[in-house]
Amino acid sequence: MTTQIDIAQAETISCPLCGSRRFQKQHSGPDYFMRLPGTFHLVRCRECDLLYQNPRPPLAQIGRFYPDHYGSYGSAQAGLRARRGMMRWIIWRGQHKRCRLIQHSVPAIVGVPRRLLDIGCASGLFLEAMQSYPAWQVEGVELNQAAAQATSARLGVPVFVGPFEQAQYADGAFDAITLWDVLEHLHEPLASLREIRRILRPGGVLFVRVPNAASYVARMCGRYWSGYDLPRHMTLFTPKTLARALAQAGFREKLCVFSSASYLATLHSLRFALDDGLLDAKRAAAIHRILLHPAARVLAWLPFSLADWMAGGSNVEALVA
């Protein structure tokens, strides 16, 4: 099956944040990550400065750009066991950092399990880590049927297959909801955030992480920045536009906002540039192997930590209530 979008079916939309139809073209480019055919277009709203894809693949077509080997789907059967060495430790450390933040942000009630929903759970690594924390009942949502079924079977937790809005969860059903690198994929981010607000109990928390389009890495890497990930990323946020979207959806209390994870974003971006022909394939592969080495990560720790500390990291993360 071809993944080329029929131009006649592509959607031309107004700004998902403010509704304006006034925009300027930001850039156009191919699918650098999955290498599926097509040219895709990113624009910037002249009213609120939001970056969004326009025209874009309609919801009925977007599944073509998420093959079963996309992202972390491939490790859904084995989970963390599919990782080895230093990378396994890095992933596990990162997952537990997230878990501790959620654990400390939602007060426990004696005898009552807290309920968590991970939207876009993919291979379930976060749910797997969260299972080691007491008094949490965890479940997920995943669009990819194969990944959802494998994660549910491996962890023994409910995983709804499809858009979470179709699950018809009850009002105030969850104590915590997480969106790890998901909001940017959604066709209607404001409507989705309002639905999350509805199913989150009073006093519950939402943790959201999105690529930071205002980051130093985005500026440095230009069209090759991995955070753009056209055509899968419908909307690209900055700290300012993310704060506006959360406020419009009814989230009033910002518990913390920070940036993170610049190194891997830079590594992916460099790979896209090298694969695009800036160097011959052999030399590009050698550079990529060097940068994957743990020693390279150690050397890069200080400059990238400074970027994160200065709120210029490649992701922006927010915990809100």
DSSP at 154: H
Residue 153 structure tokens: 């079977």
Measured N-to-C along each axis, helices 189-199 and 239-248 cross at an angle, to the nearest 10 degrees, of 50
The CATH architecture one would assign to domain 72-320 is 3-Layer(aba) Sandwich (3.40)
- Nearest C-alpha neighbor of 206 from the set 195, 220, 191: 195
pLDDT tens track, the chain, 321 positions: 444 445 457 899 999 999 999 999 999 999 999 999 999 999 999 999 999 999 999 988 888 898 877 776 655 455 565 555 666 666 777 788 888 989 988 887 777 889 999 999 988 999 999 999 988 999 999 988 988 999 999 999 999 999 999 999 999 999 999 999 999 999 999 999 999 999 999 989 999 999 999 988 898 889 999 999 999 999 999 999 999 999 999 998 887 776 666 677 777 888 888 778 776 767 777 777 777 777 777 777 777 777 666 667 788 889 999
Tokens 């942000």: give the residue.
105
